[in-house]
Amino acid sequence: MSNLRKSADRLVEIGSNLGASNERFKLSTFGSTGSPGVVQQICDPHELGGEWMELASDPAILDVIEGLLGPNVALYYTMFMMKPARQGLSAPWHQDLAFFVHDQARLVACQVYIDDSTPENGCLKVVPGSHRTGLANHFDGDRFVNRVVGDTSGFEASSVALPMKAGGAVFWHALTLHASDPNQSASPRRGMTMEYKDPTTSLMSGSFYPGLEVRGHGLMVRGSDPTGVLLPAIR
């Protein structure tokens, strides 16, 4: 955790000098305006430092993913998510698969926290069993809006908060409904999100929404690639 915190601090320092978001550093999230110089997301940090690639290919994490997806595992993307003290914004109810629709829903996310994640600083909330209910509507007309459209009060009523100590991890299916509240505490909430998938699962045509970085493939981190198109991860 110490090495990851140091790496995170270095990356945030780089991003804090930006006046606007770019492909790597996001100063806003889920359509919010954000604050100048306050980094809320860092896209694919595993491409930037050995610590993050090491985390994404950690055997303890991959053992869990293998138990859910099978022996062949591809790392689809990573995202470092931050809620600075009293500044981190909320994440509305959504399903990850809506952002990158595949022909099979064989994708699982893992978020590892480098700070304690609490209800006060906006820990993850999920709706148990929602991965079995299918893909909800994330469109307002023909515009993708990063959230479930319609009445979500039922989600809130049936949700479960998932506080986690630093060094702990939460795993969820790509169809699991999840959200988080704003950080109203004096403590940051930072976590590394890693999305894994069965390499035989393919991104569907038309899944590229404007303004979203969606990958067609990924990197193999365990087992072999039956499709023969994915690259092995370099460690």
Helices and strands of the chain, counted as H and E runs: 4, 14
Which tens digit of pLDDT belongs to each residue from 108-120? 999 999 999 999 9
Torsions phi, psi of 186, nearest 5?
A: -90, 5
∠ CA(164), CA(220), CA(146), 5° rounding? 55
Return d(Cα 3, Cα 102) in angstroms, integer: 34
β-strands 231-232, 219-222 pairing: parallel
The CATH class of the 2-199 domain is mainly beta
Pick from 4-18, 96-110, 200-214 the range whose average pLDDT is largest: 96-110
What is this structure's pTM? 0.90
- How do the domains of the chain map onto residue ranges? 2-199
Residue 153 has pLDDT above 90, yes or no: yes
Distances (CA, A) of 43 to 23, 49, 144, 206, 226: 7, 12, 20, 22, 27
**In the predicted model, what is the mean pLDDT of the chain?**
88
Return d(Cα 5, Cα 191) in angstroms, integer: 10
